[in-house]
């Protein structure tokens, strides 16, 4: 059986490439309202691809972008598995792109283009894997839920899924939208951090003033926001100083931290991948806790004052800080936002604090029958154990699926750190696609056994 799966995966290279090209060449930048038409076009193209393999596909409209729903159904009495992937992408306006980000460039088994690894490539790999399992008669129904708003926080996903949840008859969900530790260490993610964004806006005058005439007496809004930010967190350690911020945090268990440490994560490789000149900690256990299972406060930008060449000796009259907090179980975004707003008000009541999007944290299981099934599949495909880790980012749709479908959600991506998630010259590679098609098929075999029992 293993031989056949491997041979099938190998035989799908041209199909994979053709499908990926069709999807990458539609610029589905969800953050850009001008791409609205491309969203619909991508949904229709994706539905056609599913149909071309013999599946059924429909498009769920929402008040935002549509959701593609695909099916390979054996019959109403068979257990079902749903795949979640997203077909929208990050903007691609970085000057570092070496070629048009919306033309798929193929180079030595690499597929270069925006969305190739996040998440169009993995979506196509999941589709081709399921198609094979279906054709060879595995007793499972396969469903595909392909979203087009993931990169903007899935604002209409719940609306779309809510309206069609009865069509998604599943025993579990599989999400392929995350990154391995390294090429030789597959990772299964069972947790996501939540997110609460905010802006801090301060206006101190009606117009900019001369720093020679007023400096020394005039309030400075940029400096005042910096003072407030420094009161919110310690930039040396990252420790958050907002009162009661950590009250609801459930720390990771020692067993989880042991798993993190054994994942093969390398501190120096991490530092180099991102080009950081230093890290807030170089201790492996502490670093992994901080990026996967501990909350943060970060500053993303400060606006205000003079930004042109040289200097201009003004006292600015307004400033804005853009911040966010990554959250872990059992922190509640709304509550955390209130803690921030109350604290800032106490520090300076003139600062306006506005909420900018929030997502709750999520933690699933790293033990149990589904995790074991995936562990066995990975061992069979690659001869090694997958690392069971949490992911520092957020996928809003996971929370929605947990709420509406209420089944186990397993997360295993196919992307590698070097693929450049959200970065210029993003790419995916055939090796990962092929290995994905293979390991997913072993996982389906495990599930078929599990659901029969
Ligand atoms: Zn993604």
> Cα(210) to centroid of ligand 1, in Å?
47
Are 319 and 205 in contact by the 8 Å Cβ rule? The answer is no
C-alpha–C-alpha distance, residues 249 and 242, integer Å = 14
> Cα(381) to centroid of ligand 1, in Å?
24
> Cα(422) to centroid of ligand 1, in Å?
9
Q: What dihedral angle (degrees, nearest 10) is formed by the CA atoms of 141, 145, 146, 148?
A: 170
> Cα(88) to centroid of ligand 1, in Å?
8
Are 96 and 114 in contact by the 8 Å Cβ rule? The answer is no
* The pLDDT value given to residue 204: 98
C-alpha–C-alpha distance, residues 209 and 259, integer Å = 56
Residue where the block lists tokens 């008000």 = 345
> Cα(438) to centroid of ligand 1, in Å?
21
C-alpha–C-alpha distance, residues 133 and 384, integer Å = 23
> Cα(183) to centroid of ligand 1, in Å?
18
Low-confidence ranges of the chain (pLDDT < 50): none
C-alpha–C-alpha distance, residues 68 and 62, integer Å = 11
> Cα(177) to centroid of ligand 1, in Å?
5
Q: How far is CA 1 from the centre of its chain?
A: 33
> Cα(368) to centroid of ligand 1, in Å?
26
> Cα(228) to centroid of ligand 1, in Å?
33
Burial class of residue 96, CB neighbours in 10 A (0-12, 13-18, 19+): exposed
Strand partners, 54: none
* The pLDDT value given to residue 294: 98
Q: Is 425 left (phi over 0), alpha (psi -120 to 50) or beta?
A: left
* The pLDDT value given to residue 365: 84
> Is the link from the previous residue into 270 a cis peptide, with omega within 30 of 0?
no
> Cα(119) to centroid of ligand 1, in Å?
5
> Cα(118) to centroid of ligand 1, in Å?
4
Are 119 and 58 in contact by the 8 Å Cβ rule? The answer is no
Q: Which two tokens stand for residue 320?
A: 């804005």
Q: What is the DSSP string of 398-451?
A: HHHHHHHH-S-EEE---B-GGG-TTSTT-EEEHHHHHHHHHHHHHHHHHHHHHH
Phi/psi at 134 (5° precision): -65, -45
Strand partners, 189: 389, 411
Q: How many helices (H) and strands (E) does the chain have?
A: 13, 18
Phi/psi at 132 (5° precision): -70, -45
C-alpha–C-alpha distance, residues 157 and 154, integer Å = 5
Query: Could you tell me which CATH number the domain at 194-251+294-359 has?
Result: 3.30.70.360
Q: Residues within 5 Å of ion ligand 1 by Cβ?
A: 118-119, 177
> Cα(412) to centroid of ligand 1, in Å?
12
Alpha carbon distances (Å) from 297 to 92, 196, 221, 278, 335: 26, 9, 21, 18, 15
Quick: pLDDT tens for 239-254. Answer: 999 999 999 999 999 9
- Domain limits, the chain: 2-192+361-452, 194-251+294-359
Are 439 and 127 in contact by the 8 Å Cβ rule? The answer is no
> Cα(75) to centroid of ligand 1, in Å?
31
> Cα(150) to centroid of ligand 1, in Å?
7
Mapped onto helix, strand or coil, the DSSP state of residue 251 is coil
> Cα(14) to centroid of ligand 1, in Å?
24
Count the residues in the chain.
Answer: 453
C-alpha–C-alpha distance, residues 367 and 262, integer Å = 16
* The pLDDT value given to residue 230: 98
Q: Identify which of 106, 144, 141, 101 has the alpha carbon closest to the alpha carbon of residue 124.
A: 144
> Cα(285) to centroid of ligand 1, in Å?
26
Strand partners, 428: 111
> Cα(146) to centroid of ligand 1, in Å?
11
> Cα(1) to centroid of ligand 1, in Å?
32
* The pLDDT value given to residue 394: 86
SS3 percent helix, strand, coil of the chain, rounded to 5, is 40, 20, 40
> Cα(418) to centroid of ligand 1, in Å?
15
> Cα(2) to centroid of ligand 1, in Å?
29
Query: Could you tell me which CATH number the domain at 2-192+361-452 has?
Result: 3.40.630.10
> Cα(274) to centroid of ligand 1, in Å?
18
Q: Which two tokens stand for residue 307?
A: 């930004």
C-alpha–C-alpha distance, residues 18 and 116, integer Å = 12
> Cα(96) to centroid of ligand 1, in Å?
21
* The pLDDT value given to residue 1: 60
> Cα(58) to centroid of ligand 1, in Å?
22
> Cα(392) to centroid of ligand 1, in Å?
13
> Cα(398) to centroid of ligand 1, in Å?
12
> Cα(209) to centroid of ligand 1, in Å?
45
Q: Identify which of 423, 12, 340, 412 has the alpha carbon closest to the alpha carbon of residue 177.
A: 412
* The pLDDT value given to residue 200: 98
> Cα(290) to centroid of ligand 1, in Å?
21
> Cα(123) to centroid of ligand 1, in Å?
10
């Amino acid at each position: 059986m293993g031989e056949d799966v491997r041979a099938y995966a190998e035989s799908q290279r041209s199909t994979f490439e053709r499908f990926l090209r069709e999807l990458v060449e539609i610029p589905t930048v969800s953050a850009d309202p001008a791409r609205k038409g491309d969203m619909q076009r991508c949904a229709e193209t994706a539905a056609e691809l599913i149909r071309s393999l013999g599946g059924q596909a429909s498009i769920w409209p929402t008040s935002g972008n549509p959701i593609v729903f695909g099916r390979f159904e054996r019959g109403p009495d068979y257990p079902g598995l749903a795949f979640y992937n997203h077909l929208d992408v990050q903007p691609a306006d970085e000057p570092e792109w070496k070629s048009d980000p919306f033309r798929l460039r193929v180079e030595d088994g690499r597929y270069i283009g925006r969305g190739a690894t996040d998440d169009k490539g993995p979506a196509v790999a999941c589709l081709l894997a399921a198609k094979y399992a279906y054709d060879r008669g595995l007793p499972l129904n396969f469903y595909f839920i392909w979203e087009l708003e993931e990169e903007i926080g899935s604002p209409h996903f719940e609306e779309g899924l809510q309206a069609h949840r009865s069509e998604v008859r599943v025993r579990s969900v599989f999400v392929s939208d995350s990154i391995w530790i390294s090429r030789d260490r597959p990772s299964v993610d069972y947790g996501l951090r939540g997110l609460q964004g905010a802006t801090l806006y301060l206006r101190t005058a009606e117009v900019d003033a001369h720093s020679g005439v007023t400096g020394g007496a005039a309030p400075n809004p940029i400096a005042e926001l910096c003072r407030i930010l420094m009161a919110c967190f310690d930039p040396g350690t990252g420790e958050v100083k907002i009162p009661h911020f950590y009250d609801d945090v459930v720390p990771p268990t020692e067993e989880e931290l042991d798993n993190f440490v054994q994942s093969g994560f390398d501190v120096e490789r991490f530092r180099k991948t991102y080009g950081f000149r230093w890290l807030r900690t170089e201790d492996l256990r502490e670093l992994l806790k901080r990026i996967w299972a501990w909350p943060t406060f970060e500053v993303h930008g400060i606006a205000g004052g003079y930004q042109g060449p040289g200097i201009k000796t003004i006292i600015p009259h307004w400033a804005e800080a853009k911040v966010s907090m990554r959250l872990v179980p059992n922190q509640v975004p709304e509550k955390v936002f209130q803690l921030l707003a109350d604290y800032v008000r106490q520090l300076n009541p003139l600062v306006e604090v506005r909420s900018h999007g929030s997502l709750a944290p999520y933690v699933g299981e790293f033990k149990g029958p589904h995790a074991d099934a995936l562990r066995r599949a990975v061992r069979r495909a690659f001869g090694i154990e997958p690392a069971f880790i949490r992911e520092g980012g957020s996928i809003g749709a996971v929370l929605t699926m947990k709420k509406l479908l209420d089944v186990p959600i397993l997360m295993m991506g196919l992307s590698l750190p070097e693929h450049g998630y959200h970065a210029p010259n993003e790419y995916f590679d055939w090796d990962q696609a092929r290995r994905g098609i293979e390991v997913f098929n072993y996982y389906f075999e495990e599930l078929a056994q599990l659901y029969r029992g």
